[in-house]
Amino acid sequence: MALSKINIPQAAQHFLECDTEKCEGNCEFYCNPCHRRLCKQCTDKHLRNARGKKHEVVLYGQRKRHFPAEKCKIHCNKDVAMLCEECQVPVCSKCVIHQNHRGHIFTDLETIFAERYANFQQEIFKIREYFLPTSQVIQKDIKKESSEIKHIMDNIRRSMKTEFKSLKSLVDLVISENIKQLDQIEQSLLEDLNTQDKTMDEYIAYLNNLVKELQRCLSSTETHKLMSEKKPKIRSIPETTKPVTPRLIAGHFSKSNITQLLGEIYFPNVKAQKREIRSLENVYNTAMKPTQKQVKKDRQKSDNKQTMSLSASVTKVREFSVPGVRSICHTSLDQSGRLWISDSEGNLVQTDLLGNAMQKVETSWEDEGYHTVTHDGDLIFTDQDKKVINRIATGNNIAEFIITGVWEPISIHSSHINGDLLVGMNNKEKSKVVRYNKLGKKLQSIKRDDKGQSLYGVPHYITENINGDICTSDFDIRAIVVVNKSGQHRFSYTGQKSEIHPYGICTDVLGHILLCDGFFNNKTVHLLDRDGQFLSLLLTPQQGVRCPRSVCVDDKNNLYVGQYGTNILTVYKYLH
């Protein structure tokens, strides 16, 4: 089991010590079954040990919280270990067979405790990182605007007095009325801002009290209290308005119209604008910024990428036929350089880079991006009819990995960033993209844009860019759709001069998006930058391309292009 070093926050004041006797090393890892802190050396020994070989060892920050021991109220010599789903009470192993709980369903209490603990921590995080600072920024703006109100009013008064100086004897009454009106407006605005200021004071006090309450729940040694506490619903930040200030309309000297001569206070008939409140999602994006070590690593990668650039022309390197397939529709490349190639008849063949067949799998799928290869070299492919995702690991045994329920898994891609699986799915007239982790746990579901509109028609092919963007090729809506790693819609590309009919899609080391437009009169491979800007038609019929369906790029920046109607795979160079 390979474990990387934990990143200790800069703000940390103390290094945890390893629990192993006579070991003075710093804790980096944690054994969940043993509830032990371990250093790197002791972790290696623990995993080699017969007792700890199958234990779950994780980074210390990702450990499961140790469930506090609590005696059963009925069987005093037993610790509670499960939760009765029907009675909603913690029970021990003896309670399970008691007649009061006969036939009931039980859930591991430690698992529930860990989930609740994480939920409460998340709420504290949101309050500290979003609700409190955002409220304090708004309050700061309110105080600043109060000061600006005074400044604006003083400027208006000075302008008025300049006008009044030469005709003061004629305009005393008008001045008096104008100043009175101005004072009333000022008082009204300041009173309104003062009210808003008090409102924010009360809201901030509420948030601080809520944090204390949540922390009290977390620190409680009585498990049932944490179990019984409901996750609080944080009140929304109160709406506040920015003040609309008056203006002075300059008058013209005229005895017949003193008011027009000296001007009047004008209060714009403008509705006060609501203050902008930053999105809660931005907090998570900020919280997930890379560590200094990761930044350095990424910078080194970036420096390497800077040595690469687009060639002036595309060069054909070689081509070879793939035995066992009739028409190349999708290509997956594994870490060892072997290829998995599928056709429109459900044939899925593995070859080396010379076209020598190594193994073959019969599938129920056709011309979609329905297979991918993980970092570990496992083949993952979907089965639309059975609505499952299969895995083939060492030994070539096919095992059902993920069951997708009513959703038909159409396209799939294994992330080169973190090993997550991105799956394009369809259910009648609805489509979505779902993210699973390496263990098959659902992490994310992407369906709609920020206006509530459906993002996808049918996501036939799917891939991931170097910045975490999820790129799907959608033949039904004639577009490629790109969202960021949070699922927010970034852009859709629908072609240049004519409508595209998108099929295979991939990205390269520079973040370019390569797209097959292989239908009707197009028959090209488009090259876009990571922001969806069209760069060029990388391959056209003039270069021998007839109906491109599949594209992928290996770690040596070779471009593999498969075409519909033939089993010939062609390799090109377009970076140098």
| DSSP state string for 529-544 | -TTS-EEEEEE-GGGT
- The answer, yes or no, to whether residue 263 has pLDDT greater than 80, is no
Residues 6+ apart with CB under 8 A from 373: 332, 333, 334, 335, 340, 379, 380, 414
Segment 237-265 shows an average pLDDT of: 73
State the pLDDT at residue 156: 83
Q: 175 with 276, same domain?
A: yes
Predicted confidence (pLDDT) per residue in 499-509, tens digit = 899 999 999 98
Number of compact structural domains in the chain: 3
Contact (CB, 8 A) for 427 and 410? no
| Residue 113: burial class (beta carbons within 10 Å; 0-12, 13-18, 19+) | buried
Maximum separation of any 2 CA atoms in the chain, in Å: 106
Q: Is 254 helix (H, G, I), strand (E, B) or coil?
A: coil
The answer to pTM > 0.75 is no
Would 206 be classed as within a structural domain? yes
Q: 319 with 188, same domain?
A: no
State the pLDDT at residue 292: 45
Q: CA 452, 453, 455, 458: dihedral to nearest 10 degrees? A: 130
Q: 328 with 194, same domain?
A: no
Would 5 be classed as within a structural domain? no
Inter-helix orientation angle 109-126/168-219, to 10°:
160
Among the ranges given (23-37, 191-205, 528-542), the one the predictor scored with the smallest mean pLDDT: 23-37
Residue 50: which CATH number? 3.30.160
Of the candidates 229, 219, 215, which has an alpha carbon nearest to the alpha carbon of residue 88?
229
Q: 348 with 209, same domain?
A: no
State the pLDDT at residue 50: 79
Q: Which of 49, 64, 79 is the last residue of a domain?
A: 64
Q: 562 with 420, same domain?
A: yes
CB count within 10 Å of CB 507 equals: 22
More confident residue, 468 or 376: 468
Reported confidence tier of residue 225, pLDDT bands at 50, 70, 90: low
**DSSP one-letter string for 213-240:** HHHHHHH-S-HHHHHHSPPP-PPPPPP-
Reported confidence tier of residue 9, pLDDT bands at 50, 70, 90: very low
Q: 334 with 278, same domain?
A: no
| Winning range, highest mean pLDDT, from 105-114, 219-228, 241-250, 402-411 | 402-411
Segment 210-227 shows an average pLDDT of: 78
- The answer, yes or no, to whether residue 438 has pLDDT greater than 80, is yes
| Winning range, highest mean pLDDT, from 262-276, 298-312, 395-409 | 395-409
Would 130 be classed as within a structural domain? no
Contact (CB, 8 A) for 311 and 574? yes
**Amino acid of residue 21:** E
Q: 273 with 314, same domain?
A: no
Structural domain that includes position 39: 14-64
Of the candidates 474, 427, 469, which has an alpha carbon nearest to the alpha carbon of residue 455?
474
- The answer, yes or no, to whether residue 264 has pLDDT greater than 90, is no
- The answer, yes or no, to whether residue 13 has pLDDT greater than 50, is no
Q: What is the distance between the alpha carbons of residues 381 and 384, in angstroms, rounded to a whole number?
A: 10
Would 105 be classed as within a structural domain? no
Would 9 be classed as within a structural domain? no
Contact (CB, 8 A) for 90 and 79? no
Radius of gyration, alpha carbons of the chain: 33
CA distances from 16 to 4, 19, 43, 293, 410 (A): 17, 9, 15, 20, 47
Q: What is the distance between the alpha carbons of residues 83 and 79, in angstroms, rounded to a whole number?
A: 12
Reported confidence tier of residue 459, pLDDT bands at 50, 70, 90: very high
- The answer, yes or no, to whether residue 291 has pLDDT greater than 50, is no
Would 129 be classed as within a structural domain? no
Strand 568-575 vs strand 558-563: parallel, antiparallel, or unpaired? antiparallel
Segment 189-193 shows an average pLDDT of: 91
Q: 377 with 252, same domain?
A: no
More confident residue, 129 or 481: 481
The percentage of the chain sitting over the pLDDT mark of 90, rounded to a whole number, equals 30
Q: 187 with 315, same domain?
A: no
Segment 7-18 shows an average pLDDT of: 50
CA distances from 343 to 59, 360, 410 (A): 42, 12, 15
State the pLDDT at residue 74: 85
Would 509 be classed as within a structural domain? yes
- The answer, yes or no, to whether residue 155 has pLDDT greater than 60, is yes
Contact (CB, 8 A) for 487 and 522? no
Residue 331: which CATH number? 2.120.10.30
The tokens describing 5, both together, are 């070093």
- The answer, yes or no, to whether residue 23 has pLDDT greater than 60, is yes
- The answer, yes or no, to whether residue 203 has pLDDT greater than 60, is yes
Contact (CB, 8 A) for 267 and 181? no
Among the ranges given (128-132, 256-260, 336-340), the one the predictor scored with the smallest mean pLDDT: 256-260
Phi, psi for 245 (deg, rounded to 5): -95, 155
Residues 6+ apart with CB under 8 A from 450: 488, 489
Q: Which of 64, 81, 98 is the last residue of a domain?
A: 64
Q: 406 with 443, same domain?
A: yes
Would 78 be classed as within a structural domain? no
Reported confidence tier of residue 302, pLDDT bands at 50, 70, 90: very low
State the pLDDT at residue 512: 94
Q: 322 with 266, same domain?
A: no
Q: 372 with 261, same domain?
A: no
Q: Give the chain's mean pLDDT.
A: 82
